Chain A
Amino acid sequence: MNAVSRALTDGWVITKRNLIKIKRVPEVLIFVLISPIMFVLLFAFVFGGAINPGDGVSYKEFLIGGIFAQTVVFGATFTGAGLAEDMQKGIIDRFRSLPMSPAAVLVGRTTSDVVYNVLSLIIMALTGLLVGWRIRDGALDALAGFGLLLLFAYAISWVMAWVGLLVPSVEVINNASFIVIMPLTFVSNAFVPIQSFDGVLRTIVEWNPVSALTQAARDLFGNLPPGETVSDAWSLQHPALYTLLWVVGILLVFVPLSVRQYRLASSK
């Protein structure tokens, strides 16, 4: 317990350090916030009329949940890139020579990236509201939806933290995350209704956690076609629970793995 509370106290010190960087180099933040706006606008206006997700729901409305999911998952790339950058700079030697928690650098990085994701969710929600997206199931449900998105992104952050420590190069991280996250978000119901997938691909889509996350978000925002069963798969019948199980599973595996890798990588 002592180790955990130290990881949190020291982690918070590192979080604040990372947030100061956002303040000092606001260009990064601007980029982080512009790309979700672009996503919302592009998808809403380019594909908005081309796909019909089902009766009574516009594609724009349907799409927003998917864009939320994709953007916050992509946000995890920052965790990997940020850590890779830290590992390459001398500052990590300072941290390693201090009697601080070995998890603190990771806790701090993943936490400050939650702040990035909160900001980009706010921006996306506002843009979404502008192009016609609505929250139709009450504020509490909507908050739960945002919470679930952030939780899942937080878990993916720990995966990317591990990758960032494994391959401490910002360029490689950016490419690697693209290779992983693009298929993860596109082979899901984020942009295309699940009915349009067949066979094995359909099974993959149904059990892809990003599908469950998107489904849960749509459900909580009240953006699902009314009364329609999209899939019989358990994962999509209980999307929030299934997403939470993934969150727990990922954290159980990748928190210890990343901490171990941090110790190894920084002591070469």
Chain B
Amino acid sequence: MAVAGNDGDEGVDELTEMISATGLVKRYKNVEALRGLDLSVPEGKVLALLGPNGAGKTTAVRILATLIKPDEGTAVVAGRDVLNDAEGVRRSIGLSGQYAAVDEHLTGFENLEMVGRLYGLGGVASKARARELLERFDLSDAGDRPSKTYSGGMRRRLDLAGALVAAPPVLILDEPTTGLDPRSRQQMWEVIRELVGAGSTLLLTTQYLEEADKLADDIVVIDHGRQIARGTADELKSQTGGERIEVVLVDDGDRDAAVAVLGQVATGEVQSGDSERALTAAVTGGADSLSQVLAGFAAGGIAVLDIGLRRPTLDDVFLSLTGHATESDTDSDAGSAGGEGA
């Protein structure tokens, strides 16, 4: 079971931690990319590392994948220390980085076969595995074309296939769907669900609360290299006030009456929106709350211009946890995709 809300001291002892990191610090010239991050993923579970651009997600991933060394802190992956036994860690993980690590001059098949040989699988097994993975990732038809000709989604899938060549027990995926169109994203989600169904332990990073919600058992929200919240998607949503009903009234004279109706379902105080006529109420009952409010408005003769149930996004989580909106860092590519999450 997922760790319940808090830091996970209790209840996890009998589970094997496949990833556990303590006090990770990484400094670059001008920034502290990580400032004491702790992570733990029990065997067979999915942890989402959720944060805006520049939060430190990739830095954490690169440390766990032994691509860089932390300045402080330790991490153990599949029972092996990233500092003392980098090679052991590499044998146990499959990494799909933020930018697809495929050789564009090689075909999909050649890419996968090469990775197999570098894992030491030998020629016959590498070829067989390459064909199998191409099939599984819907790339068979394109398998003999240079990967330069692939679409973004295909490249991403090929990269993920590369991470799976040696069927590693731990998978680390850095923003696996950023920059993908909605259809490719859905496909990727399906693939990831299958992997988890087959028992892999997974750490995935994302900028989308929806994605973390769909895929992860447990979510760690980070900002500026620090954990700012941790829990299941539901816990996070309730921490942020969960879902909200947003109303725009026709007449601001109805305001007090509307606040009273909303107050019956709201979990906190009813808040003013952008204008005098806009109101927002945090709710937990979803569509039920909405129909209750609609009924109340009808009974009271309150006319609405617009009313809707809004599910929280990473931005909402951020706003409520930090008091500021997500501020995108440099990365323009991921930044432009950041809005389409929920």
Number of interface residues of A (CB under 8 A): 24
Extra 17 A-B pairs, beta carbons < 8 Å, given A24-B105, A89-B103: A10-B117, A21-B105, A21-B106, A25-B105, A90-B102, A91-B101, A91-B102, A93-B67, A94-B97, A94-B115, A94-B159, A97-B95, A97-B97, A98-B119, A99-B90, A100-B118, A267-B67
Number of interface residues of B (CB under 8 A): 28
Q: Chain A's nearest CB lies how many Å from the CB of B80?
A: 11
Q: Chain A's nearest CB lies how many Å from the CB of B271?
A: 45
The contact sample of 18 A-B pairs, CB cut-off 8 A, is A10-B118, A13-B114, A16-B114, A17-B110, A17-B114, A21-B106, A24-B146, A92-B101, A93-B97, A93-B101, A94-B115, A94-B162, A95-B118, A98-B90, A98-B118, A99-B90, A99-B91, A99-B119
The CA-CA distance from A17 to B109 in the complex, in Å, is: 12
Beta-carbon contact of B100 and A90 below 8 Å: yes
B325 within 8 A of A: no
User: Which residues of A are found within 8 Å of B117, using beta-carbon distances?
Assistant: 10, 13
The CA-CA distance from A96 to B97 in the complex, in Å, is: 12
The CA-CA distance from A247 to B91 in the complex, in Å, is: 36
User: Which residues of B are found within 8 Å of A268, using beta-carbon distances?
Assistant: 68
Beta-carbon contact of A97 and B90 below 8 Å: yes
Known: A24-B146, A99-B91, A267-B68. A104 touches B102 (CB 8 A): no
B120 within 8 A of A: yes
B200 within 8 A of A: no
A266 within 8 A of B: yes
Beta-carbon contact of A93 and B106 below 8 Å: no
User: Which residues of A are found within 8 Å of B69, using beta-carbon distances?
Assistant: 267
User: Which residues of B are found within 8 Å of A89, using beta-carbon distances?
Assistant: 103
Which residues of A1-38 are within 8 A (CB) of B? Answer: 10, 13, 16-17, 20-21, 24-25
Tally of A-B residue pairs with Cβ under 8 A?
Answer: 66
Known: A20-B105, A21-B105, A93-B97. A99 touches B114 (CB 8 A): no
Contact code string A96-118 (vs B, CB < 8 Å = 1, else 0): 11111000100000000000000
Q: Chain B's nearest CB lies how many Å from the CB of A260?
A: 15
Contact code string A65-83 (vs B, CB < 8 Å = 1, else 0): 0000000000000000000
Beta-carbon contact of A98 and B103 below 8 Å: no
**Which residue of chain A is the closest to B67 with respect to CB atoms?**
A96
The CA-CA distance from A25 to B93 in the complex, in Å, is: 33
The CA-CA distance from A175 to B105 in the complex, in Å, is: 26
Beta-carbon contact of A97 and B65 below 8 Å: yes
